[in-house]
Amino acid sequence: MTLPQSRVAEITLSYYPNIKLNDCEKVSSSKDAERLFRENWDDAQIGFVEEFKVMLLNRANRVLGISAISKGGVTGTVVDPKIVYGLALKAVACGIILAHNHPSGNLKPSHADIKLTEKLASAGKIFDLPILDHLIMTSESYYSFTDNGEPCLS
């Protein structure tokens, strides 16, 4: 069965950056990523409620954007992989850095943190869109999955 032309949607992909890519920050280390996330985090909230954010990078590791994915309670937040990868695909990102905070001040990844990272990394393989790192942040410090050799990113 063929649909009449009026019932067929036309989809066009286009990209209109607001700034020149050479003006975008370049991420070369977890410290760079931590600094940029911290600049985009509400200091009054980092020790209060858990939030999850993503940093989208181009092929040269220049930041295309940072987006808040979810905000939860004192002990957790829900992250939908469809939202993470929907944003990344729309931005034509080539890499993703994840970050969330632990209001408790504990930098150790929880079992849920590791499972979520594994799930997102697995999805990224399908799109050839790797999770480059996952940071856990507190008001004083941060933990990098990559710097600590976490196997869930490989």
Task: Give pLDDT tens digits for 62-118.
Answer: 999 999 999 987 888 889 999 999 999 999 999 999 999 999 999 999 999 999 999
- May I ask the CATH class of domain 22-139? alpha beta
- What's this model's pTM, rounded to 2 decimal places? 0.86
How many degrees, rounded to 5, is the angle at CA 145 between CA 68 and CA 128? 70
Mean pLDDT of 13-36: 79
